[in-house]
Structure 1
């Protein structure tokens, strides 16, 4: 039996994948440089580049004038060849970011949902939302990443959820894959938030990071050795309800908000944001309430920071809007209480962090398609 045809085809695909890898990690390059970096002949690179240009994975980007002879053409990876979608599923909101294949965000959308929806109603809403976002992107996403609250295992199943009704035990990745005609990857929202911080936020080039997600619920995300930590039961970072009440730490800002506007009922996160606004306007009582909130958070963080020994603590979720009003008291407390105090920062990604992290895992899922040079999907028929 003759295997030479198959061997040649495999070698061509491997060389093509190698050329694509180089293109993705360089701004622009010439055929000669590609041949040297991939360690193949220039005629081989020319043939591969013709295919990549025809498939839409590469494009010309000007010329480089040499010492003599004709200017050398330069090529780059065509990041607009495909799109991915990152989706955050919360109790009250769906949020999405669309990104090109370089990770640049090109579109963002939001839609309202409700925590007491049935699972089917919520799935229907997600399906419609993804279709709307795909139309806005102008083409079908190569992959959709989804971040959701709850304990999510490595198969994209929601093991437990105390926030969304009907979500516990749901094989979310399988369900969405049946409804959406593109690959779907599902992960816990706070693990995606800390991944987003490492990719596009405060934790770039950091390897050991603690991310506090605090808003209308509280969770921790941990980056250990550069990777989000899942835990033995995929429940890493889930903070159970304390006997004295999870929101006791928010008491100072809730009391302040109630004293200023007694008839206005606010959630703990809303009370905190109200106090941030008043503190930034010069209200000393508001500033004192925020400091008390920060000290309460710091006292809880010490119990994790000590044994974990992170290099950075990120305050995320809606509390990130507190900025220095929260960061400085927390930093001072950790400086006193910790042997090696980490740097404390407020997230600059805010409420976008989960969707951005979801876009990141969607991009990772596309790596094999890109490496194999599979042709990108065409634009949707009714795209604007």
Structure 2
């Protein structure tokens, strides 16, 4: 068995990590509370806290309100001591965010790009966006602890796009390697749907839930699975990626496409545009539109049954642009699942909207930064 007791620097590092963990778990704690949380002596804890204050990784917190007498000093982790970036690369363009180590987003920017843009242009746009969003946050990219990136397609363990049917010239791109050349620091690439369900679990509709199915409804249908609190990748990192499936748009769209064509025969609409057109008219009182939207929702629910039954999630989150349909979409889905499933899950819409993937990328980067920070 390896002996470590004589390695003073190693022990100091272990003790510092213990105090940092205790700081991260509270909004403010006294030395005595930190010592108990870190299982260290008060004297050792005090020395470490003073070091962390000097390094800018800890700060004095406000005293507890209503406390009598001279309040004891309280300390907290200084979230602004480090930052991460999150980037979402999709069919409509690139979104970038910078957040501190507490997860507070301090800057956000969007760059529009068409799906047919060449890979080189998309890579340059992503790297340049990180630089611009860092500038807005008062940082330079070399000060980022990590950059999380979410994109459509099958993403392998090395951050390579194995296959993408949404973005042209994207299949085969070694995305993590290419962005790593353009940006300082660690770059971490993951599938967009897995990051979407991760962000909903972090600070969206799935907070506190462990088994979640995230259904993206928009220009395409996509899935993100959270099993046991962890996004599920699958044997080939292709879990939830429906882009190559022959019914990847699902037959449900037929109802709203037929309705839109009947109402305005000369107007060609994409499936998601037809769905939003029908939703708007249903809200205006058009009974035909309401029937089309309900049939569309039932079609989605019928597809969900084959997933809900074997996976048994506690929650289904509807995301993507069509989530704005709200109860027009949710009610038929709930009824269908209630009639069919042994344990029908709760069904809600996303609380994060278009930012779900980018926020998931931020969370992905934060996980890496925390692992480095806490050893």
TM-score over 0.5 for the alignment?
yes
Corresponding position of 1:121: 121
Task: Return the alpha-carbon distance in structure 2 between the equivalents of residues 29 and 328 of structure 1.
Answer: 46
Corresponding position of 2:14: 14
SS at match of 1:231: coil
Give per-residue Cα distances to partners, 1:96-139, cap 9 Å, x unaligned: 23222111222221111122222212111111111111111112
Corresponding position of 2:370: 367
1:175 aligns with 2:181: no
For normalisation by structure 2, the TM-score amounts to 0.93
Deviation at 1:25, TM superposition (A): 0.9
Task: Return the alpha-carbon distance in structure 2 between the equivalents of residues 242 and 184 of structure 1.
Answer: 29
**Equivalent residue for 2:349, pick from 333, 346, 353:** 346
Deviation at 1:257, TM superposition (A): 2.3
Corresponding position of 1:325: 328
For normalisation by structure 1, the TM-score amounts to 0.91
Instruction: Judge conservation of contact 1:157–1:170 (CA < 8 Å) in 2.
Output: yes
1:106 aligns with 2:138: no
Corresponding position of 2:198: 195
Task: Return the alpha-carbon distance in structure 2 between the equivalents of residues 37 and 247 of structure 1.
Answer: 52
Deviation at 1:162, TM superposition (A): 1.4
Give per-residue Cα distances to partners, 1:170-226, cap 9 Å, x unaligned: 221111111101211100000001111111111111111111112111111111111
SS at match of 1:167: coil
Deviation at 1:284, TM superposition (A): 2.1
Corresponding position of 1:43: 43
Give per-residue Cα distances to partners, 1:132-165, cap 9 Å, x unaligned: 1111111232211100000011221111111222
1:84 aligns with 2:84: yes
RMSD over equivalenced CA pairs, Å: 2.0
Deviation at 1:6, TM superposition (A): 7.0
Task: Return the alpha-carbon distance in structure 2 between the equivalents of residues 66 and 232 of structure 1.
Answer: 55
Task: Return the alpha-carbon distance in structure 1 between the equivalents of residues 282 and 40 of structure 2.
Answer: 63
Corresponding position of 2:158: 155
Deviation at 1:67, TM superposition (A): 7.0
Corresponding position of 1:379: none
Instruction: Judge conservation of contact 1:247–1:268 (CA < 8 Å) in 2.
Output: no
SS at match of 1:142: strand
Instruction: Judge conservation of contact 2:221–2:248 (CA < 8 Å) in 1.
Output: no
Q: 1:146 to 1:6 in 2, by over 3 A?
A: farther
Corresponding position of 1:31: 31
SS at match of 1:71: coil
Deviation at 1:247, TM superposition (A): 4.8
SS at match of 2:74: strand
Deviation at 1:89, TM superposition (A): 0.4
Task: Return the alpha-carbon distance in structure 2 between the equivalents of residues 6 and 89 of structure 1.
Answer: 49
Q: How many residues are matched? A: 369
Corresponding position of 2:62: 62
- Structure 2 unaligned residues grouped into runs of 5+: none
Corresponding position of 2:309: 306
Deviation at 1:346, TM superposition (A): 1.2
Task: Return the alpha-carbon distance in structure 2 between the equivalents of residues 114 and 226 of structure 1.
Answer: 34
Task: Return the alpha-carbon distance in structure 2 between the equivalents of residues 210 and 274 of structure 1.
Answer: 26
Give per-residue Cα distances to partners, 1:228-262, cap 9 Å, x unaligned: 11111111112255557735321221222233333
Task: Return the alpha-carbon distance in structure 2 between the equivalents of residues 245 and 251 of structure 1.
Answer: 13
Q: 1:206 to 1:286 in 2, by over 3 A?
A: same
Task: Return the alpha-carbon distance in structure 1 between the equivalents of residues 201 and 232 of structure 2.
Answer: 13
Corresponding position of 1:380: none
Deviation at 1:322, TM superposition (A): 1.1
Task: Return the alpha-carbon distance in structure 1 between the equivalents of residues 202 and 247 of structure 2.
Answer: 37
Corresponding position of 1:375: none
SS at match of 1:287: helix
SS at match of 1:205: coil
- Structure 1 unaligned residues grouped into runs of 5+: 373-384
